[in-house]
Structure 1
């Protein structure tokens, strides 16, 4: 995938916030009993409070594997990770802290975050099976301004879990959501880390002869 960065992406980047700022915003919304959704309701507010707790826990406990750290040393050129999300999104609460933790390990990854419902044009450029699924990460090569890949809304094992469940039961249920949370907690971010590293422009290292 190679899409030249256009005005929509450029405009979104000018309005994006850092991870630390995003965390401040979500924490503030949670404390006020609100969410980032355009239309406020109790369910979205409850999800925001829950996600604030999840992110706070992940920020403290996530460990980056030696393989990931080794791969980041071979990052050839700088990239920007632009992520579409919302405070109420459960998958984002697991994924964003991992993205941030990886980005903190190198000065060649810049993580920027925007709210989906405030950036509809951008979201429509990066649909998943025709839907506005989040989180959606867009990888931008800073050297040539090309979009070189995307990720989201879930790592492959979790995506299969959802797909299999929907095929069997026809819809997403609270039981499935609970099963997903259990899976995320057991995986500890490893699947997401591995998939994100695959999207980076890594220098091929020769083992010599």
Structure 2
């Protein structure tokens, strides 16, 4: 018998998307961001991320085949999303995850946990030994056991990330190139990978 990824009580204490976004807004109003590390740099990243998420909330158009896969779901799933407000990749991906869930006719519910408040969970989903986010863990809604996981970014973006990292670029240049890729991609790679995930369920 597979072990639940987390308890029902812990899941109930997670954030909804609205509450996650509100938390970030409230912290921004205090000149802060999520997590124990606080700096002007992280606060500035978070401000940019709020703008990114706001734009994506308004503009994400789901692929027709993704909508078809959602309509074909025959049981409910919990999407557990490990994230932080200062993470640029999370800002590019989390609104897409929420849009998919919203289009699922109630078969997918999203639950958000902050990485640095949940390191025991995060450390079960490391990427090449690192705590890369966002991380999506798909759970069976009845048992809270894992059926799939995805993240921290689409494969093309992940390869780009590794290539840029190997060049030892200044962070600003690194970030500009990566977010430029997201802007050109218009969430298509994320959506196609989520489509493959849904078909695998």
TM-score above 0.5, yes or no: yes
Shift of 1:202: 6.2
Q: What do residues 24-59 of structure 1 show as CA deviations (whole Å, max 9, x unaligned)?
A: 111122222110121321111111111111111111
Output the aligned Cα RMSD: 1.9
Query: Separation in 2 of the partners of 1:163 and 1:65?
Result: 28
| Conservation of the 8 A alpha-carbon contact between 1:36 and 1:88 | yes
Is the 1:47–1:88 contact (alpha carbons within 8 Å) kept by the matching residues of 2? Answer: yes
Q: Distance in 2 between matches of 1:138 and 1:14?
A: 16
Residues 1:172 and 1:108: Cα distance change in structure 2 (over 3 Å): farther
**1:142 aligned residue:** 141
- 1:4-153 to 2 correspondences below 5 Å: 4-6=3-5, 8=6, 10-106=8-104, 107-153=106-152
The answer on whether the counterparts of 2:83 and 2:114 sit within 8 Å (CA) in structure 1 is: yes
Q: Is the 8 A contact 2:49 2:87 kept in 1?
A: yes
Q: TM-score, normalised by structure 2?
A: 0.92
Q: How many residues align?
A: 200
Alpha-carbon shift at residue 195 of structure 1 (Å): 1.1
Offset of residue 172 of structure 1: 6.6
Deviation at 1:23, TM superposition (A): 0.9
Alpha-carbon distance, 1:197 to partner? 2.3
Cα deviation 1:127-182 (Å, max 9, x = unaligned) = 11111111111110124432011111111110011122233x14673212101111
- Scaled by the length of structure 1, the TM-score of the pair is 0.88
Give yes or no for contact 2:65–2:195 (8 Å, CA) kept in 1: no
Q: Which runs of 5+ in 1 are unaligned?
A: 204-209
Any unmatched runs of 5+ in structure 2? none
Is the radius of gyration larger for structure 1 or structure 2?
1
Greater shift in the superposed pair: 145-154 or 171-180: 171-180
- Quick check: 1:86–1:115 contact (8 Å CA) kept in 2? yes
| Aligned equivalents of 2:147, 2:183: Cα separation in 1 | 29
Tell me the secondary structure at the aligned position of residue 12 of structure 1.
helix
